Every structure is written in C-alpha cells, then in structure tokens.
Amino acid sequence: MSDGLPDGVERRPFDGRERLATRGSPVYGEPTDGDWRAWDASRSKLGAMLSRGLDTGLTGGEPVLYLGAAAGTTVSHVADFAGPTYAVEFAPRPTRDLLDAAAPRSNLFPLLKDAREPASYAHVVEPVDAIVQDVATRGQAEVALRNRRFLADDGRLLLAVKARSEDVVADPGDVFERVLEDLRSGYEVLATERLTPTHEDHLAVVATPRTE
C-alpha cells in the first residue's frame, strides 16, 4: 500500500510499459500477463484516479457499491481487488456485457437498477466502505447524496463528474463548482482533480460523508 494502491492492484510492465493491473479473467481485450490483466487508465476513470496517485482510501477486500457500471470495464477490476461488489447500471444494453464480466466473478453482483432510486436496490445491497460513481446523467450530486445511506461513516465516495452530462454548453469549471456545492450538503470533499487529457471534461472527487 506504499504507493496508495489497494491490495490486489499493482503496477506491472506490459510491453515494456508500467501499467496498473489486477488479477482476474479478461473482459475487454486488455493485455494479460499470467493471471494479471492491464487496467486501461484511459478507459477507466477510477483507473486514472489510482494511476495518478489520488488517495482513494481503497484498501482491497472491502464491500463496494459501483453506480454506473456500464459494460463492466472498470467494475470488473474493482471486483478483482475488492470484496462484495454491487454493480448498478440503468441501461439494458451495456448491462449485457456487464453480465459477461460478472459471470466468472463470484463477488460481483450485477443489478439493472436506476441509481436515482436507491430504495429499488437497498433490499440487496449491504452497507459499503466505498461508493464508486460514474453515471452519465444530470444531477450527479443528487445521485451521490441519495446513495449516501449505503456508505459507512468513514467510507469514501469516489466520484467522476462528467461536465457534459450536467450541461453541454456551460464551462466545465462552472459545472464542477455547482456539483461540488451541491455535494457538500452531505459530503466533505477531501480531494478533487481534473482527469485531462485521458478523460476530457471529467473531475475526479474523493469525499466522505458529513456527520453532524
């Protein structure tokens, strides 16, 4: 953990280049080396956060709720190093690929649910130490606030804010300010970082629940 990476995530050489990697069955045609498979940080916002050395608070082995799992590219890596991993995705089409990623991972639980309606999956999801949120919808702060009920008091929200989902024309900087302001009603923001150039117009946010 000296480099801030959770147990089960390592920097390993692939074709002469150091890349993040986890152990698990391949999902999206990523390069592999024995059990290890490269975690493409240009296709994964959480991968970009870890690779930039952001302190995510992830240790490995903990329960995780992943909102906006899409086709499972990132959540498959999360399930490789985390404990029980609940993957919520709203769109049926990418969920088909998510099912393929989840099939060989006994700790990955796919759920076709709307992240704006946590009551529709609270009967399945247990309290977690980390929420990873990457939803392409307006009201991303609101989604994080509604899902706060799943997060342990000292847990971490790892949020990738997509400026274009909130407002296509507004300046991303203004959009991020607005989202952070909304977020602060329920979370304490610990760190933020723009994910350029791999994820243009995305802001990475690490936050923890506010306890009053």
Residues of each annotated binding site for S-adenosyl-L-methionine: 73-74, 89-90, 114-115, 134-137
Q: Examine residue 91 and tell whether it contacts another protein (CB under 8 A).
A: yes
Indicate the residue among 94 and 139 with the shorter CB distance to another protein. Answer: 94
Query: Among residues 36 and 199, whose Cβ is nearest to another protein?
Result: 199
Q: Is 1 near another protein (CB under 8 A)? A: no
- Pattern 7-36, another protein, x by CB under 8 A: ------------------------------
Site membership for another protein, residue 71 (CB under 8 A): yes
Q: Who contacts 212 (Cβ-Cβ below 8 Å, separation ≥6)?
A: none
Distance of alpha carbon 131 from alpha carbon 14, whole angstroms? 29
Dump strand ranges (E) for the chain. Answer: 9-14, 17-23, 32-33, 36-38, 64-67, 85-89, 108-112, 128-133, 151-162, 187-194, 202-209
Alpha-carbon gap, residue 165 to 112, rounded angstroms: 20
- Find the shortest distance in angstroms from Cβ 101 to another protein: 11
